[in-house]
Chains A and B, each alone.
Chain A
Amino acid sequence: MVDTAQFDAIVVGSGITGGWAAKELTEAGLKVLMLERGRDIPHQTGYDTEMKKPWDMPFRGSGDAEEWKREHPVQMLNRHFTEYTQGHFVNDRLNPYQTAPGTDFNWFRSYNLGGRSLTWGRQSYRWSDYDFAANKRDGHGTDWPIRYEDVAPWYDKVEEFIGVAGAAEGLPQLPDGQFQPPWALNAVERATRERIRQRWPERVLTVGRTANLTQPLGERGQCQARSICARGCSYGAYFSTQSSTLPAAKATGNLTLVTDAIVEKVDYDPATNRVTGVRWVDSKDGTRSRAGARMVFLNAGSFNSVQLMMNSASEAMPGGLANSSGVLGTHIMDHPSTLSAMAIMPGFEDVTTYGNRPTGVVIARYRNMDEMDGEGHTRGFSFQGGALQSGWTRGKREPGVGVDFKDSLRPPGPWRVVLVAFADCVPRARNRLTLDRTKTDAHGIPQLNIAFAFGKEEQAALAQAKADSAAMLTEAGGHVIMGFDQPGAGGGAIHEMGGARMGWDPATSVLNRWSQAHDVPNLFVTDGAQMSSSACQNPSLTYMALTARAADRAVGLLKENLI
Chain B
Amino acid sequence: MSQTEGSWQRRDFLRGAALLALAIGVPVAGVSLSDLDASEAPTDRQREMMRRVSQAVLPATDTPGAGDVGVGDFVILALAHGLDGTREPAGSAEIPWAVPQYQRRDGSVRYVDWLEGTLSRMGNGDFLRRDDAGLHDLVARIDAEAFAEGADAHPWRAIKGLILLGYYTSEVGGSQELRFELTPGRFDPALPMGPNTRAWSSDWTAVEFG
Contacts and interface: CB of A to CB of B under 8 A. Distances in A.
Interface in B169-210: 169-171, 174, 177-178, 180, 182-210
Interface stretch (A24-32, A64-72, A246-254, A495-503): A64-72
A413 B186 contact: no
Interface string B36-56: 000000000000000000001
Interface centre among A187, A399, A406 (most CB of B within 10 A): A406
Contacts of A401: 56-57, 136, 139-140, 143, 160
A351 B191 contact: yes
A405 B15 CA distance: 33
A118 to B, nearest CB: 17
Interface string B107-138: 00000000000000000000000000000100
B168 interface: yes
A416 B206 CA distance: 10
Contact of B177 (A79, A353, A406): A406
Interface residues of A, number: 64
B190 A351 contact: yes
Contacts of B196: 411
Given A354-B187, A355-B184, A411-B193, A403 B83 contact: no
Given A60-B165, A64-B81, A402-B136, A187 B189 contact: yes
Q: In which size bucket is the chain B interface?
A: 35 or more
A216 to B, nearest CB: 13
Given A66-B82, A402-B59, A355 B193 contact: no
A352 B193 contact: yes
Contacts of A406: 57-59, 61, 65, 177
Interface stretch (A51-59, A96-104, A148-156, A537-545): A51-59
B164 A58 contact: no
A410 B167 CA distance: 12
A392 B59 CA distance: 15
Interface stretch (B1-9, B25-33, B94-102): B25-33
Given A64-B32, A391-B203, A411 B195 contact: yes
Contact of A55 (B81, B174, B177): B174
A526 B84 CA distance: 40
B207 A393 contact: yes
Given A401-B143, A406-B177, A413-B199, A58 B169 contact: no
Given A53-B182, A184-B187, A356 B202 contact: yes
Contact of B30 (A58, A185, A394, A399): A58
A418 interface: yes
Contact of B209 (A67, A349, A407, A418): A418
B26 A55 contact: yes
A386 B206 CA distance: 11
Contacts of A58: 26-27, 30-32
Given A58-B27, A60-B169, A227-B205, A391 B199 contact: yes
Contacts of A393: 164, 206-210
Given A55-B170, A355-B186, A390 B209 contact: yes
Contact of B187 (A55, A187, A356, A396): A356
Nearest to A79: B208
B88 to A, nearest CB: 9
A513 to B, nearest CB: 41
B78 interface: yes
B89 to A, nearest CB: 12
Given A225-B186, A393-B207, A406-B177, A55 B169 contact: yes
Given A55-B174, A226-B183, A356-B187, A388 B205 contact: yes
A418 to B, nearest CB: 6
B170 to A, nearest CB: 5
Given A399-B147, A411-B198, A225 B184 contact: yes
A8 B200 CA distance: 52
Given A353-B189, A403-B59, A396 B164 contact: yes
Contacts of B10: none
B91 interface: no
A348 to B, nearest CB: 9
A410 B199 contact: yes
Contacts of B171: 53, 55
B143 A396 contact: no
A53 B197 contact: no
B184 A54 contact: no
Contacts of B56: 401-402
Contacts of A398: 147
A403 B180 CA distance: 21
A224 B185 contact: yes
Contacts of B78: 59, 62
A400 B178 contact: no
A186 B189 contact: yes
Interface string A271-296: 00000000000000000000000000
B174 A396 contact: no
A315 to B, nearest CB: 51
Contacts of A390: 206, 209-210
A89 interface: no
A228 interface: yes
12 contacts: A53-B174, A54-B170, A59-B83, A184-B189, A186-B189, A352-B192, A354-B184, A354-B187, A356-B202, A391-B201, A391-B210, A409-B164
Closest 8 interchain pairs by CB? Answer: A391-B206, A58-B30, A355-B184, A399-B147, A393-B210, A54-B169, A60-B169, A65-B82
Given A395-B160, A412-B206, 20 more contacts: A53-B180, A56-B25, A60-B74, A60-B169, A62-B83, A186-B189, A224-B184, A226-B183, A228-B182, A352-B193, A354-B188, A354-B200, A355-B186, A389-B199, A390-B210, A395-B164, A396-B161, A400-B143, A401-B56, A411-B193
Interface of B: 24-27, 30-32, 56-59, 61, 65, 74, 77-78, 81-87, 136, 139-140, 143-144, 146-147, 157, 160-161, 164-166, 168-171, 174, 177-178, 180, 182-210
